[in-house]
Chains A and B, each alone.
Chain A
Amino acid sequence: MINSKIRFSASLFERLWQPGILLTAFVFSIPVLTIASFLFLPTGDIWQHLVDTVLADYLLNSVLLMIGVALGTFSMGVTCAWLTSLCEFPGKKLFIWTLLLPLAMPAYIIAYTYTGMFDFAGPVQTQIRDWTGWGYGDYYFPEVRSLGGAIVMLSLVLYPYVYLLARAAFLEQSVCVIEVSRTLGCNVWTSFYRVALPLARPAIVAGMSLALMETLADYGTVSYFGIGVFTTGIFRTWFGLGDSGAAAKLAAILLLFVFTLVVVERWSRQRAQYHHTTNRYSKLPVYRLTGARALIACIACLMPLLFGFLLPAFQLSLWAIDTYAVMIDSSFYKLVLHTVLLGLSTAVLAVMLALFMAYGKRVLASKLVFASIRVVAIGYAVPGTIIAVGVIIPLTWFDNTLDSYMREQFDISTGLLLSGTLFAVMFAYLVRFLAVSIQSVESGLVKIKPSMDEAARSLGRKPTDILFNVHLPLMKGSVLTALLIVFVDVMKELPATLILRPFNFNTLAVRAFELASDERLADSSSAALMIVVVGLLPVILLSKSIASSRAGS
C-alpha cells in the first residue's frame, strides 16, 4: 500500500532517475570500452612474443606489488586511524591532520626524491663510504629502485586513503556498541578487533581498493624503478612495438585484476551489512595512553608522516631554495590558478555525479544500476594515458563526423568542437576519478540505516528531500572526503592532462613532471612543493570537518 503510493507520487525526476544513471554510466565507460574494443584487432606474433618473454614477469610483479601495497596501506592506515580517533596521546591533535599530508605527494615525485637521497651514488651512501672507506659490494644497503622500494613508495603516499575512510568510520561509530562490548568483557584490543574493526570494514576495504587501483594505474614510479608490471608492459607494447591489439590484451588482463578487486570488495560488503544500531551519539570513550604506550603510539603515527611527507618535503625544500629564483616566474602563478580551478570544478562535478548515482542505487535498488556503477568504477584503475587515448578517439570521431556532415550539408566547417578543449580534459578526469567520489559517498551512505529512509518516506518525504535533509547532514564527512580526494588527485594527475590539454595550458603537475623526467630534480622542486602546498589547505579543512561532523558532538 505504502509502496504503491510512493511509486504513484514519484516525480518526473525520479522516473528518469534509472535511465539517467544508466546513460551517465555509459558515457563515462566509453573510453574504457573503446580501449577494450582493441581486443578484437589482430595481434600477429607480438602477443606470442610477449607470452614467451615478459608476460610471466609482468604478472608476478603486479601481484607482488599489490600484495605489498595492500599490507602497507592497511597497517599504516588502520593503525593511525584507530590511534587518532579512539586514543588520547601527546601530539594527537597534530597527527590528525598531518597524517593526511602524504596524499598531496605525487608518487613519482617521492620516488625521484628518495632515489636522489638513498641511491648508491646519493649523499647518504656516499657519506657512509666516506666514513668507512668501503666500496661497492662491501656493505648491504636496501636498493631504492626495486620492487620493495616501489611498494614502500606507493604505500607511503596511498595509505591516507585507508586512514581517511577508516578514521571517518571509527568516528561515526556509535558509542553504545563500543560500550556494550566493554561491558561484555572485551578489553581495549579485543573491542577494537571484534567490534570497531568489523564495523569499519566497508570503509577500510573501500580505502584499500582505492589504493590498489591507484597502484595498478601507476606508471611514473614503476617505470622509473625499472619494474616490469602491466602498466609498463602496455606502454612498451603499444608505443615501442607499435601493437595496440596486444597492448589491449595486456590492458584486459589488468582490468581482470580490477574486476577481481571490485568483486572482492562487494563480497566483503554483502556478507554482512553493518549499520549503526542506535542513533545515540555521546562523546566517544577515549583510551588515555601514558608512558611507553603513548610513546609507541606517537612513533607509530610519526613514521608514515616522517617518511611519507617530512623527509621528501625537506629534500624538496632544500632543492627549491637553490632553484626557486629561476623557476618561479610570472607563468608560475598562472600554473597555480589553472591547477586549482581545474581541480575544484572537477571535484564538484564528481561529487554531484556520485550523489546522483550512489543515492540512486540505494533508492532504486536495481541490479542494472548496481552493475553500471561497478563499470564506471573501473576507470580508476586504468592508467591515465590509456584513458586519454580512450577519450581522444571517440571525441575526435564525434567532432570529425559532425564536421563532415556540416560541410556536406551547409558548407560550414565546425572543426574540433570538443577535443583539444578543457571539456576533454575534465571528461578524462571524471572517467578516472568518478570511482573515488562514488566510493566515499557510498561508504557514507551504507552506514545510514535503511529504516531512516523508511521512516522519512512514511512521513511523506520524497527521496530527494531525504537526501538533502536527512542523509547529507549525516554524511557530511564522506562528501567532503570525496571532494578532497578528487581535488588532490586531479592536481597530481599527469598523463591525461599532458595529452588532452589545449594550447598553452599548463598545470603544476605538468611543470613538475617535465623537469623531473628530464632528470632535473632540483628544478622541478618548486612546482612539486607548490602541489603539496595547494593540497594542504583542503586537507586541513577536511580534517576539521571530519572531527566536527560526528553526530552528537
Chain B
Amino acid sequence: MYKIFQQIGVFLFVISFSAGTMAAEVNIYSARKEKLIKPLLDQFSAQTGIKTNLITASADKLLTRMVNEGRNTPADILITVDAGRLYRAVQADIFQPIKSRKIEQIVPAHLRHPNMLWIGLSQRARVIFYAPDRVNPEQLSSYENLAQEQWHKRICIRGSGNIYNQSLVASMIVANGEQATQDWAEALVNNMARPPKGGDRDQIKAAAAGQCDIAVANTYYYGKMLEAKKDSAQYRAAKKMALFWPNQDGRGAHVNISGAGISKYSRNRENAIKLLEFLVSPEAQDWYARVNYEYPVNAEVKPSGLLASWGSFKADGLNLSKLGELNAEALKTMDRAGWK
C-alpha cells in the first residue's frame, strides 16, 4: 500500500512540475481543439526551437482561469474561436498590445482590435445551405429573408446557446436595430421545421434527409462533411446540399473569427509574438484553409481546393468587437422569441 502511495506521489510531482520554466517556451491557453492547433505548434517548435505548452478548454473557462490567476498566470497567449470572447478578455483587462509591424501589415483592420489587443487568425463564415431539389436559389437572398412566410416550417438551425448564432443575431442587431431583430427572431422561430437541436452538421444532414429545406451552418462543417468517405452518410448528405452566400447585395455574409491575444502578464512575450507571426504566415494560413476549411486572414493566401470551388464572397465588414458588446442583448432577444 505504502509503495502505491509513493508511486502516486512521484507521478503527481513529476507531472506538476515537468512543465516548469525552460529557456525558450511559450504557454498557450487555447479554445481551438488540440487536433486543430497542435500540428501548427509542432511545426513552429521545429522551425524555431521554442517549446510550446498547451491547455485546451472552452474560452469562457480559460478566461475565468486567467482572470483569477492574475499576474501569476502562466499563460502567454489566449486563443479563442469567436470574437465575442476576445471582447470579454479585453473587458477583463488581461491582454497587452501586440507589438509587431509584421502582423499589423498582414491582418486587415476590421479583423483586429484597434489597439492591437487581439488579432484574427482565421475567418469562419456562417451561411445558408439549401436543398436544390426543393429550393430555387432565386428565392434566397439574405438572413432577413429567412423570416418570410414562404419558409414556414422549412428551416433548420441550432439552439440559441450556440455562440455562432449569438454572434449572427448580434450582427443583425447592429445592422437592423433591436426591434427589427426581435421581430425577425420571432418569425424565424415560426419558420423552424423542428425545435433546435444538435450541431451544425446535424442541420445540414436533416435538410438533406428532407426534414427541412434550408440549414444555417458554418462553412467549415460543410467542408468537413465533403471530405468524409464517399460512401459515408455525411458525404452523401453534404452532396445533396448547396451553399448560398447571403446578403451579397448588402453588408455581406456574417463572418466570425478565431483569434488570439497576448497576456498582460506574459513572461515570454517575444516568443508569443513570434508564434502569432507564424500563425498568420502564409504557411500556417494555408494549413487552416486546407485542413479546416476556414478562410485566411492573410490576403496573400488564396483559398485553394474546396474553398476555391465555393467562389469568392463579400464578408460583413463590421468591427468584430461589436459582436461581444451585443452578445447578452442577442441572447435575450432569442430568449424572448422562444428560440430554445
Contacts and interface: CB of A to CB of B under 8 A. Distances in A.
B171 interface: no
Contacts of A54: 335
A420 B75 CA distance: 11
Contacts of B35: 514-515, 518
Contact of B332 (A49, A239, A518): A49
Contact of B327 (A226, A240, A415): A240
A325 to B, nearest CB: 14
Nearest to A495: B61
Interface in B218-246: 221, 224, 229, 233, 237
Nearest to A420: B74
B12 A145 contact: no
B53 A504 contact: yes
Contacts of A413: 72
Contacts of A224: 197-199
18 contacts: A53-B336, A115-B198, A120-B206, A121-B206, A121-B237, A123-B233, A125-B209, A225-B197, A226-B159, A226-B197, A242-B327, A341-B8, A348-B8, A422-B12, A498-B61, A499-B64, A502-B19, A510-B56
Secondary structure type dominating chain A contacts = helix
Contacts of B202: 115, 119, 121, 519
Contact of A226 (B33, B70, B196, B200): B196
B161 A240 contact: yes
B16 A396 contact: no
B205 interface: yes
Contacts of A314: none
A115 B205 CA distance: 12
A344 B8 contact: yes
A456 interface: no
A35 interface: no
A204 to B, nearest CB: 32
A242 B11 contact: no
Interface residue range, chain A: 35 or more
Given A396-B70, A421-B16, A121 B61 contact: no
A503 B53 contact: yes
B271 interface: no
Interface string B1-21: 000110010011001100100
Interface string B29-43: 000011100000000
B317 interface: no
A514 B196 contact: no
A518 B33 contact: yes
Contact of B211 (A53, A120, A421, A515): A120
Contact of A400 (B70, B195, B198): B70
B16 A502 contact: yes
Interface of A: 46, 49-50, 53-54, 115, 119-123, 125-126, 129, 135-136, 145, 223-226, 228, 232, 235-236, 238-243, 322, 338, 341, 344-345, 348, 385, 388-389, 392-393, 396-397, 399-400, 403, 413, 415-416, 419-423, 495, 498-506, 510-511, 514-515, 518-520
Contact of B12 (A240, A388, A389, A423): A423
A120 B56 contact: no
B57 interface: yes
B62 interface: yes
Contact of B210 (A135, A225, A511): A135
A500 B62 CA distance: 9
Interface string B178-213: 000000000000000001111111100110111100
Contact of A498 (B53, B57, B205, B237): B57
Given A49-B335, A502-B19, A416 B53 contact: no
Contacts of A50: 335
A420 B69 contact: yes
Contacts of B211: 120-121, 136
Given A122-B233, A135-B210, A498-B57, A241 B332 contact: yes
Contacts of A322: 229
Contacts of A519: 199-202, 221, 224
Contacts of A338: 15
Given A121-B237, A519-B221, A393 B33 contact: no
B12 A121 contact: no
A421 B13 CA distance: 9
Nearest to A418: B16
A345 B68 contact: no
B54 interface: yes
